[in-house]
Amino acid sequence: MVCQVRDHPLVQKVTRLYEKISSLDDLRPSKDVDALFTQLVLTCIPPSPIDVTALPCPWLHLMRSHLIKLCGQAESLLESHFSTLLGDSYQLPIHNLQVFPYYSNYINLARLEFSLLKDHLPRDGPLPRKVAFVGSGPLPLSSIVLARDHLTSSIFYNYDIDPSAASMAKKLVSSDPDLSQRVLFRTSDIFNLTEELGEYDVVFLAALVGLDKEEKVRVVRHLVKYMKDEAMLMARSAHGARAFLYPVLEPSELQGFKVLSVHHPSDEVINSVVVARKCPPLQSMFLPKVGKKGEQVVGCNKCSKQFCDFDSGNNRGTAIDSGLIL
């Protein structure tokens, strides 16, 4: 079958950039690497009619999944470079974060995530006390900006699978009397976090945790298993052509969560944000398990408009989108 989408100008441009990026020996920041990734981001930011997650030909699927991995590697190397620069060159790294070329993107992303989170918290209720950020990286700008500007009394526990990330990140906040006490770092793969995930009121999930659909779903299932009921999940995703750069988390993959909102930025903030709340345990298993769309779903009381809409009181549900298959 001929793959027409390959002739689309956007796909042709991304393919050309992919061929150059994938032939690089080294993804550490340099003039060439920066120029290629800048072109790639500028190519993928504008709205696009193409559903990148449903590319008809296998070659493009393979290209996309390799490109996401290359972007992840380059992002981590960029963060390590600037984290080292900040930690080695400044007494107060926190006061010099603007040396990172995309600092303003993180300011905007943190503002967006906080406003989306606040929309789903009780109006005059307390702000979340304990926050986890999974996939914080060597330059944990999201946690730093969220803790400094928005959740100013919350405690942030940052997790990263890369042991060097925690040590670099600690160095950035150690000279700040407030953040050094409230923004803490641990090394762990998300899959090794179990009971402690149940301590958090909010879990932020970086876009690069779970690089393909299967792994992203595995991450969500792990979070469902260990997050406490009603805790909030702020998961990063991607939309449109930005899905060439980051994995996509579909609301339908968030079984066990009630999806509260999905926000696709149209400015230079690359990531989409999915806001969800952990469902309370199923009240009863008496409802038949769902098999196909539109059938009755297993009761997930008070939960997941996305999956089931309950008649009042009798706890029976009719799948709207896709049922909970447990």
> Contact positions toward ligand SAM, by CB under 6 A?
75-76, 79, 134-137, 139-142, 159-162, 165, 189-190, 206, 208-209
Smallest distance, ligand SAM to C-beta of residue 50, A? 25
Smallest distance, ligand SAM to C-beta of residue 187, A? 9
- Distances in Å between the Cα of 273 and the Cα atoms of 66, 91, 206, 214 are 23, 34, 10, 19
Residue 192 or 261 having the CB closest to ligand SAM: 192
Distance of alpha carbon 184 from alpha carbon 267, whole angstroms:
30
Smallest distance, ligand SAM to C-beta of residue 247, A? 11
Residue 128 or 140 having the CB closest to ligand SAM: 140
Q: Look at residue 237 and give its three-state secondary structure.
A: strand
Residue 55 or 144 having the CB closest to ligand SAM: 144
- Distances in Å between the Cα of 267 and the Cα atoms of 51, 52, 198, 316 are 19, 19, 34, 42
Q: Are 188 and 166 in contact (CB under 8 A)?
A: no
Q: Strands, DSSP E only, in 240-297?
A: 257-263, 272-278
Smallest distance, ligand SAM to C-beta of residue 207, A? 7
Helical residues (DSSP H) of the chain, grouped into ranges: 9-22, 31-44, 58-89, 103-119, 141-145, 163-173, 179-182, 213-226
Distance of alpha carbon 100 from alpha carbon 77, whole angstroms:
13
Residue 102 or 315 having the CB closest to ligand SAM: 102
Smallest distance, ligand SAM to C-beta of residue 193, A? 8
